[in-house]
Amino acid sequence: MRTTAMALIFALAACGGGKSSSGDTTPDDTTEDTGEDVSEDGTGDEMIPPERMDEITRTLDRKRNSSGTRCIEQAIDNGELKKNARGTLSVNFVITRAGGTKEVEITQNSFDESPMMTDCIVALMADLAFGELPRDLPWSYKFRFEAF
């Protein structure tokens, strides 16, 4: 019993939970965006709450299902895509402090043969409103489409 208690104490002491004393604040390749804006002094004083991050994703999901579906249907009706078209379109953009979008860039596009599809998604992104944020927030999103 005493040995078990001592092992538990050593395990807890080893975990510590303290910061590394090396002073290296460079993120590695596995670091994800936590919504924190790290300033030059290393502090993250403009954190975006996880609920807002989830809300942004839900807004994009809704737009994909409504307006995004309209984009693929228009491209099919225009003859740019086949009736059973499917694919993905990835977008990088910045959500502004005011909640709009800027710097919209298509980074992956399996609908290259359809300028209408690409133009429609870029227009969709320009019309999005996310609500105010404490800072500009870089974001990426992958639209997946399948026509029936």
Confidence band of 73 (pLDDT split at 50, 70, 90): very high
Is the pLDDT score of 94 beyond 90? yes
Cα–Cα dist 72/78, whole Å: 10
Q: Where are the beta strands (DSSP E) in 26-66?
A: none
pLDDT at position 66 is 84
DSSP type of residue 7: H
Residue 96: count of CB within 10 angstroms of its CB: 16
Cα–Cα dist 147/78, whole Å: 14
Confidence band of 15 (pLDDT split at 50, 70, 90): very low
- Cβ contact 39:45 at 8 Å: yes
Q: How much of the chain exceeds pLDDT 70, in percent?
A: 69
Residue 100, Cα to own-chain centre: how many angstroms?
A: 15
Set out the domains of the chain in order of their start, with CATH numbers: 50-146 (3.30.2420.10)
Is the pLDDT score of 24 beyond 60? no
Joined together, the tokens standing for residue 142 give: 């992958």
Residue 95: count of CB within 10 angstroms of its CB: 24
Is the pLDDT score of 34 beyond 80? no
pLDDT at position 65 is 86
Cα–Cα dist 88/103, whole Å: 20
Can you tell me the mean pLDDT for 121-142?
A: 94
pTM of the shown model: 0.66
Confidence band of 45 (pLDDT split at 50, 70, 90): low
Confidence band of 79 (pLDDT split at 50, 70, 90): very high
Can you tell me the mean pLDDT for 60-67?
A: 89
Residues 6+ apart with CB under 8 A from 144: 64, 87, 88
Residues in the chain: 148
